[in-house]
Amino acid sequence: MPMKRQNAVRVVLADDHYVVRSGIRALLDTMPGVETVGEAATGEELIGEVDRTSPELVITDLSMPETDGMRAIAELRNRHPDLKILAISMYDTSDFVQGALRSGANGYVMKDATPTELGFAVETVLSGESYLSPRVSGRLVQSLRGERNGDAPLTTRQREVLMMIARGYSTKEIAFELGLSPKTVEVHRARLMERLGISDVAGLTLYAVRKRLIDPEHPQ
């Protein structure tokens, strides 16, 4: 049941795709007591919109140009401690989820969420509680179990492959540099994804950045 409010909750949206922002805004427009007061396509724009409009809630993507969503969340949390922040993403891997939560997000919802779930996520976060999409929470539990079982540490070869993947090397280039066959590199990549609970190359790259295995400003 929607929360009763005397004044509309002010919301700022951030996503680098206009169509995505429009879709989320359309959903928010159907929610009683919610008003979208600003939009942003980059992390820098998001920070500026929040400073300008003083919203109660931010709904932001994580992968945006210039300052990405996670850095923007951390900066917003520092500037506006009471601001509610809901991360919305197409990635359900544990590194994205943990990164968003550690940066200061109050919740994490998938972009393919139903209007009902998005509404529930918004209400939950505004009430002062945390919200995780069911798929996200399942992946997070699996990752934490893996860490407790000692699966998190990587071998030297896995770290080498991970770092080269994060730097944008192709499978053939990695194979040539490390003296391996392309098939062996593919096996290492598959095992990395399985061990870390990550399902794509973008997730591996973010993991390498979070673990400071590469410098995002100078990846080479």
Residues whose CB falls within 8 Å of the CB of residue 12, separated by 6 or more in sequence, listed in order: 36, 37, 38, 39, 40, 46, 49, 50, 53, 55, 57, 58, 59
pLDDT for res 181: 87
CA distance 125 to 73: 15
Cα(65)–Cα(52) distance, integer angstroms: 20
Q: What is the model's pLDDT at position 158?
A: 84
Sequence-distant (6+) residues with CB within 8 A of 220 are: 167
Looking at residue 5, its pLDDT comes to: 55
Q: Which two tokens stand for residue 105?
A: 């997000």
Distance of alpha carbon 14 from alpha carbon 87, whole angstroms: 10
Q: Tell me what pLDDT residue 141 has.
A: 60
pLDDT of 149: 47
> Amino acid letter at 78?
N
According to the model, what pLDDT value does residue 94 have?
73
The number of helix segments (H) and strand segments (E) in the chain equals 10, 6
* Delimiting residues of CATH 3.40.50.2300 domain(s) in the chain: 9-143
pLDDT score for 82: 95
Q: What is the pLDDT of residue 152?
A: 53
Highest CATH level, class, for 9-143: alpha beta
Q: What are 152's two structure tokens?
A: 């998190």
Instruction: Dig out the tokens for 10 from the structure.
Output: 């002010």
From-to residues of CATH 1.10.10.10 in the chain: 156-210
**Residue 15 has which token pair?**
């996503």
Report the pLDDT value the prediction gives residue 150, as an integer from 0 to 100: 46
3-state secondary structure of 17: coil
CA distance 142 to 93: 10
Instruction: Give the separation between CA 38 and CA 14, rounded to whole angstroms.
Output: 9
The phi and psi torsions of 198 (rounded to 5 degrees) equal -115, 140
Q: Do 109 and 87 meet the contact criterion of CB atoms below 8 Å apart? A: yes
Write the secondary structure of 134-184 as one string of H (helix), E (strand) and C (coil): HHHHHHHHHHHHHHHCCCCCCCHHHHHHHHHHHCCCCHHHHHHHHCCCHHH
Residue 2's pLDDT is 47
* Best CATH choice for the domain 156-210 from the list 1.10.10.10, 1.10.760.10, 3.40.47.10, 1.10.357.10: 1.10.10.10
- One digit per residue, the tens of pLDDT, for the chain of length 220 reads 345 456 789 999 999 999 999 999 998 988 888 999 999 999 999 999 999 999 999 999 988 887 888 889 999 999 999 999 999 998 877 777 888 888 899 999 998 888 899 999 999 999 999 999 887 776 666 655 555 444 456 777 888 899 899 888 899 999 999 988 888 888 888 888 877 878 788 888 888 887 777 765 544 5
